[in-house]
Amino acid sequence: MVIAMENGDLYGNIELITNALGTQGSMVVKHIYIGMDQPLDAAIIYVNGITNKDIVDRDILNPLMLHTRENLNGKENIGEYLCKRYISMSNTLVESDLNAVVNYLKRGKTAVLINGATEVIIVDTTGGVQRAIMEPMNETAAKGPRDGFVENLEVNLSLIRRKVKDNHLSIEMFNIGSRLQSDVALVYINNIVDKQVLEELKNRIKAIDLDSVLSAGKLEQYIEDYAYTVFPQAYSTERPDRAIGNMLEGRIVVLIEGTPMVLTYPAIFMQFFQAVEDYTERTVISSFVRLLRIFAAVLVITLPSFYLTLIKFNVELIPAKFVTPIVQSRVGIALTPFLEILAMEIIVEFLREGGLRLPTKIAQTLSLVGGIIIGDTAIQSKMVSPTTLLVVGVTVISTFLIPNYDMSLAIRILRFPMLVLTNIMGIFGIAIGWFLILVHLSSLDSLGVPYFEFHKSDLKDTFIRAPLWKMNKRPEGIPNQDSIRQTDSRNKFKKKR
Amino acid sequence: MEGSTNKKQSYLTVNQFALIIFGSIVGVGILSLPNGVVKVAHQDGWISTLVGGIYPLYVVVIARYISKEFPNDSILILSKKYFGRFLGSIFNLVFATYFIYTASTIASFYSNLMRNYVVEFLTPIKIIVIIFICIMYAASRDLKVIGIISEISFYLTIILLLSPIVALRVASISNIYPVFGSGLSSIAKGSVKSSFAYAGAEIILLIYPFLKEKKKMLVSSLISVALVIVLYVWSVFITTYYLGPDIVSKNFWSLLLVMGSVTITVVNNYKYIFMFLWSLIAFKSMSINGYASIHILKDFTKKMDIKKICFLIYPLLVYLAFKYGNEISRQSISDIVLPCYIIFNLLYMTVIAVFIFFKGGAKA
């Protein structure tokens, strides 16, 4: 709704803006005179803390107060005239809608109000102290760019825009949260993204009604379909290169003001096992690492349960040479195998959860007490057998191989139901567990795109990573309009044999 | 599904379509397939198996003919159209019981097998009750879920069934000589016997409306059936080759004996690994049959929720699977019931195809 500024009465207008911004806000109003002979009454308004005061002083106040050597009374379109003549800033505009003015003020811009004019000059003076762009803490890459997203939406958008020069790059802004009114930007390549998926995402974002979106993880939960699944429903990253890479595969990047995490939609299961280095390292090496990761994920879910079936139900399966050491190590242990594994797994979870938020100095103590002392004494006090500890230790290390934090949490939690199933039903329980996991995974979808599905042409970039020049098409698993990524340029210089 | 918004995604890909057919035929039955065939056709069992493959090929061709005329109507609608509402519904019901029967007999087969080798500490009822909870969970999802599961288990099937290749080293060529030595009549009898093992291809009559690229239907389904035939012939061949025709019929699950020849370092017993992975294939077969039966029944009660049908059919499946009892009684029941169903299925689809031929297709 357009609410016009009051008829040009300066004080009336200032009061309108003050009321709209909230009287408790840290708004700064400065009255000035513009022009010679009969100077015009004017005022500038900005919100303290989010504006760059140097710019306000140098490029607004200085020219307007000291250099306007003419009588501006009765000038037509005074706002535009001032912008063109005196305000030496590139980004200025003239606005007469009160709501728009207030929105600009909230985002660090400065408003210049002139007595007798219904329009307001808006000058881009966005500033204030921000965290500098630095390497993302949670996603480091040996080879690859070092920049990471920060909390400022404009900076984040600039990080993307600087790298993507395609003129089909589209940025759509939304506003979420009745109280925080955070800006949310959808970034996509207009002629790659699938319109149906885009429309669906837009509808969902528009439908969201809550007071605040503080982080990407929160927004994700308002968009997703399946609240009770353990698997992440959107891929979040701190790295611009990842976000752009995903965007070029037909995904939509969602940036949220105030968080360095961006979301990419639609998400598919296998993408969570891919890391940045996969594409910067050599084919054979990254393929090997990928297989390793998937093996690790399988191991995390299966190994403790499999060990449990071996020592509880199917002892005959243990190779003869191992039987003696395993049996000997279990002599005198009071806990049942199930409780033993469960206890160790839970202690590991304690250590992980405890160490997560500790300052680094104390975390060292935790790892010392947790890792060395508990591990050693647990065996000596005959609580667990060394083999159990080995199995649990291998499992824990395997969880660190899963490159995405959300996914590694999901995989980690699956160990527990698996253990329970195995304790009741032996190896049959593991089979049942895996079957349920697979059925569950394949029944998920992300914005209508199947979460867990295999396409023949995508297998080049699923379990292994084929040479980059072989991936001529964009992944089929993500719907897109333009499936061609590249042509066989190598044919031009490859020698014919 | 209710949550799914993207219409085009609910269709099956060609791979999924073909592999559902594959998965519907190849299930746990392959473990005991050599028994029945070799008992009749002796060392020429593998030839019988090859000939028996005519049955699924026939089903595919008929399905292709029907789908060409009615690409969007499954056989359920067609049967009501040509037999009339009452008779058509009865035939559809019989068709549904076929899938119910198959799902329950696989469960019984699987529980007998598992109890015999791996989980002797569980009672059959426990295994069956738990299996069907999972199966109902899977079968109540989209067809796409069944497709993806079939895809995964296909690759598993190929790896597992090719693993006894190592048995070629120790086998004796005299086990399969003389070729054609058992006489043509025995081979023919064996073919009939083996064709029962090919039951399951009928699922194609239900799922062809869901295929996105209808043009590739015939080729893809023929390839998948051809793969089934190759794998079946291979299994019968390697079992006979490794064990000899006399020993094959002495074991319920003769193919498993061949698996014993595979030795992997550290792993004490490959058979267990095999059975663990084979479980997934068994679950998949049951899910496909469960899905088919639920969706035929859904056709009768349009208003009823899929979940409700699952709850209704669940006790029936458990009861049936439990009632078959041990492997001997299950096999003797199967020897009587399965041929009847095969004959019914053959007539059911052939008659519909004939009706379409004479009464004209969709245009009429």
Mean pLDDT lowest among A116-120, A341-345, A397-401: A116-120
- The per-residue pLDDT for range B238-277, each reduced to its tens digit, is 888 888 878 887 778 888 888 877 777 666 678 888 888 8
Cβ of B3 within 8 Å of Cβ of A317? The answer is no
| B208 assigned to some structural domain | yes
| Residue A366 CA, distance from chain mean position | 29
Cβ of B148 within 8 Å of Cβ of A436? The answer is no
- The per-residue pLDDT for range B23-70, each reduced to its tens digit, is 999 888 888 888 888 888 878 888 888 988 899 999 999 988 888 888
| B6 assigned to some structural domain | no
* Mean pLDDT score of chain A: 88
Q: Provide CB contacts within 8 A for A264, sequence distance 6+.
A: A234, A235, A236, A237, A243, A246, A247, A251, A252, A253, A254
| B96 assigned to some structural domain | yes
Q: How many structural domains compose chain B?
A: 1
Contacts of B268 in chain A (CB under 8 A): 316-320
A-B contacts at Cβ under 8 angstroms: 108
Question: What does pTM read for this prediction?
Answer: 0.89
- The per-residue pLDDT for range A257-279, each reduced to its tens digit, is 989 999 998 999 999 999 888 88
Is some CB atom of chain B closer than 8 A to the CB atom of A476?
no
Is some CB atom of chain B closer than 8 A to the CB atom of A225?
yes
d(CA A224, CA B224): 37
| Structural contact between residues A238 and A249, judged by C-beta atoms closer than 8 angstroms | no
Q: In chain A, whose CA is at the least distance from the CA of B12? A: A453
The residue type of A334 is: A
Q: What is the CATH number of the domain that holds B142?
A: 1.20.1740.10
CA distances from B62 to B55, B90, B208, B340 (A): 11, 21, 12, 19
Q: What is the pLDDT of residue B302?
A: 76
Give the phi and the psi of residue B44 in degrees, each rounded to 5: -95, 15
Is the per-residue pLDDT at A419 higher than 60?
A: yes
Closest CB from A197, A200, A432 relative to B130: A432
Contacts of B1 in chain A (CB under 8 A): 443
Contacts of A196 in chain B (CB under 8 A): 5-6
Question: pLDDT band for position B5 (50/70/90)?
Answer: very low
Closest CB from B5, B145, B269 relative to A439: B145
Q: What is the pLDDT of residue B2?
A: 34
d(CA A30, CA B207): 74
- B123 Cα to chain A: minimum distance (Å): 10
Is the per-residue pLDDT at A20 higher than 90?
A: no
Mean pLDDT value across residues B273-289: 90
Mutation for testing the A interface, residue in B136, B145, B149, B154 having most A CBs under 10 Å = B145
Helix B143-162 to helix B14-25 angle, to the nearest 10 degrees?
Answer: 60
Is some CB atom of chain B closer than 8 A to the CB atom of A455?
yes
Q: What is the pLDDT of residue A88?
A: 85
Whole-complex ipTM: 0.91
- The domain limits of chain A are 10-123, 153-267, 279-446
Percent of chain A at pLDDT above 70?
98
Cβ of A443 within 8 Å of Cβ of B4? The answer is no
Mean pLDDT value across residues B146-155: 91
- The per-residue pLDDT for range A142-198, each reduced to its tens digit, is 888 888 999 989 899 999 999 999 889 999 999 888 888 889 999 999 989 999 999
- The per-residue pLDDT for range A46-100, each reduced to its tens digit, is 988 888 888 888 888 888 888 888 888 877 888 888 888 888 888 888 888 888 8
Tokens 């004494």 correspond to A377
Question: Which residue range(s) make up the domain with B109?
Answer: 12-359
d(CA B229, CA A230): 40
d(CA A425, CA A423): 6
Mean pLDDT lowest among A311-325, A341-355, B284-298: A311-325
| B3 assigned to some structural domain | no
Cβ of B5 within 8 Å of Cβ of A447? The answer is yes
